[in-house]
Structure 1
Amino acid sequence: MLPVAHLGLLGGFRLQYGGEAAEAAEVSTSGQRLLAYLGLRQRAARTVLAGTLWPDVTEDHALGSLRTTLWRLRQQRPSLVRSHQDTLALEDSVRVDVHDLCRCAQHAVQSEARADGRPDVASLLAGDLLPGWDEDWVVLERERLQQLRLHALETLAGHLIERGGYALALEAALECVRTDPLRESAHRAVVTVHLAERNLGDAVRHYQAFRRLLRRELGVEPSDRFRALMRRAPT
């Protein structure tokens, strides 16, 4: 049986076969781009892939670079990429961490996430997609995944509060704040956890810190909804 390959794109590019970490030098820059693109898009036509990864050369040159990159990848290990006619895709044996994140996030925002059982918060705490990569196809996907993760964490925090899981709820809410410090819904989630635990001092301190941040960065006040939450706080 071929070893399962693990392709990590969150927090940086990583490639592992089973438990054996591949050395960074084993995958060229072009190979990393190719695997990352297929990991995010599932599959792609050769011409589309070549034009995306080598946009500043002729089509013939780009297709030649694609063939060379594929050949080099196939020399190292059992195949990571399969082809069908003009389409390329990752082999089914390749597991991609982005897919795991998406599945976890989608589960978190569905009603069954309220059921008993420990939610997989850790899967939602992964790093940003391919930090330092500035290609358009990465930037767009990074924003999509960030928004999906933030919504999932906020929803999960709400579910955990209802079940009395305050420690994990606070962890989820604070991760949202770390990811997007100006996101009011994330700060409301943090304050809601504090209020649920009747930690009024922590709630007020967090609210006031966010209020100062908004004034300094945007020149605005927290929303009516946030102010109303504080007015309803137990005394």
Structure 2
Amino acid sequence: MQFNVHIGAGAVLASALAAVGVWHAYSSGWLTPAKPRAGLAINERPPEFIPTNGGVLTIAWVKAYETFEKRSPSELELKVPLGTVKVPLPFGETVSEVRTAAKYQYQVRLQKRWPIQCGDTQCVVRTGPVELAEPVAIYHGETERKTRSGWARFDKAANLEQLNRSLGLALVVRGNEPRNRDVGMREGRVEIEKFVREWMAKEAHGARRIVVLYPGEQMVDGRPVPAH
């Protein structure tokens, strides 16, 4: 049995014109292939979730030596006669100092269902903001205090007490400085990776690479970098 298929000249012409139109749209830039969104794999799988009890996860302890100082210059002075002139003689300056070793604790808050994106070779987990636990602890055995005052000043004890009362806020400021915070975040990646690795072992996910992304970071060339 034979089937004779006849395609009219009009249909052939229409197909040819359509092909030319598509080629022209691509070449002129009107029509471009869809691109995957930045930071996502083309064959991305649906996210899984790490179950937690919520709360906070301590990711790093950083020990740092800090020095705090409070200077209180005198607003008064004596006028001492010297011959025909009077020479000013300041009452002096009160200076108090505290040197201590601070124990900065950095942590992240856990979602009860913490999303994790896994592919064939790696898993990517995004954390919440890194927080500094307050109040900041200090090593009392490594804390030194000293205070002195000018010859006509009697406020060195009060000046030191004021400095002691200001340490709580001052330590929070120091703990959030990059020189301390960056160390905590660097060590924190390792701790978060351990936490995720334990979950992966229970779920039989195998030895995949784990990438930890803090808020404001993205993957570039396979490593986390701050987003611009």
TM over 0.5: no
Q: Give the structure-1-normalised TM-score.
A: 0.24
Larger radius of gyration: 2
Q: Give the structure-2-normalised TM-score.
A: 0.25
Bigger share in strand: 2
Q: For CA contacts below 8 A with separation 6 or more, give which structure has more relative contact order.
A: 2
